[in-house]
Structure 1
Amino acid sequence: MLEHFVKPQLVSDGILNTAVFQHDGALPEFPLIVSDYLNRMLPRWWIGRSSPNIWTPRSPDLTLLDFFMWGCINSHNHRVKITSLHQLCERIVEAVNSIAHDQLQRVFSTMAERWSLCIDK
């Protein structure tokens, strides 16, 4: 998934060297090959267990995906019964595309404030 979807998208968006990839480090998703791959693909731009960057694990209040994105996508997806993987993929894309630019700006601002508070502490 990282090789076939994430990396090409980061390259396409021109942000491969500036995006920060957050890996949750769940045991089923974390064989040594994954951290090796992340260290090669995003040497300074990933956070998670065994990453070169210090971060606070299991902190949903510090992550955009946990405190905003998954809830937004789930509320959109569960309005209609999903009957296939293809339909699920379409609904996820629709959900992401339905997020307003100003809403994302507020989310990013809130996230930066949360990070700043943690740094101060």
Structure 2
Amino acid sequence: MLQNWFIPELDALSIRQDVWLQQDGAPPHYALSVREFLNDSFPDRWIGRGSPVSPAPLKWPARSPDLTTCDNSLWGYIKKIIQSRRYQNNEELKDAVRAAFATTTPTVLRKMSHRTWRRIILCYENEGAHTDTLD
């Protein structure tokens, strides 16, 4: 996804040099090949396990609250659309995910971003606690 879609989209918009990437350090994301790719694509501008921005004393907290719109709203929206049926193979599932993303309007994304800000405020007010039960 990073190589085939995300980076080309950032480049098409001429904003890659302005973007900071945050990743969660899940085992597949921590692979040396992934870290090397991120170092090449976002030099000194990615945050996560093994990133150049995380010196030893400063670690990204495990199981930190989801404070990005993709994590706390968008994937749930997409999942709700595609889980209504079973798919025969990965290509069918990929097509369904693409079709679900195509239904995501600017209005829907704006509502999702408002929810993200509400969760950020809740997280701050509750000293970094998860906001799932509060939201």
TM-score interval (norm. to shorter)? 0.7 to 0.9
Cα distance, 1:76 vs structure 2:
0.9
Residues 39-50 of structure 1: pairs in structure 2 closer than 5 A: 39-50=39-50
Query: Contact between 1:60 and 1:66, CA under 8 Å: does it hold in 2?
Result: no
Provide structure 1 residue ranges, at least 5 long, that are not aligned to the other structure.
Answer: none
Q: Give the counterpart letter for 1:68 in structure 2.
A: S
- TM-score, normalised via structure 2 length: 0.70
Query: Contact between 1:48 and 1:57, CA under 8 Å: does it hold in 2?
Result: no
Partner of 1:19: 19
1:117–1:14: structure 2 CA closer, same or farther, 3 Å change rule? farther
- TM-score, normalised via structure 1 length: 0.76
Cα distance, 1:67 vs structure 2:
0.9
Cα distance, 1:104 vs structure 2:
0.9
The structure that is helix-richer by fraction is: 1
Q: After TM superposition, where is structure 1 displaced by more than 3 Å over at least 4 residues in a row? A: 53-57, 112-121
CA distance in 2, matches of 1:118, 1:40: 32
Residues 10-89 of structure 1: pairs in structure 2 closer than 5 A: 10-51=10-51, 52=53, 55-89=60-94
1:87–1:14: structure 2 CA closer, same or farther, 3 Å change rule? farther
1:73–1:20: structure 2 CA closer, same or farther, 3 Å change rule? farther
CA distance in 1, matches of 2:30, 2:88: 29
Provide structure 2 residue ranges, at least 5 long, that are not aligned to the other structure.
Answer: 128-135
Query: Contact between 2:78 and 2:101, CA under 8 Å: does it hold in 1?
Result: yes
**Secondary structure of 1:50's partner?**
coil
Aligned residues: 121
Q: CA RMSD in A?
A: 2.6
Q: Deviations over 1:35-89 (max 9, x none)?
A: 2221221124322212216755423431222211111111111112211222112
1:45–1:97: structure 2 CA closer, same or farther, 3 Å change rule? farther
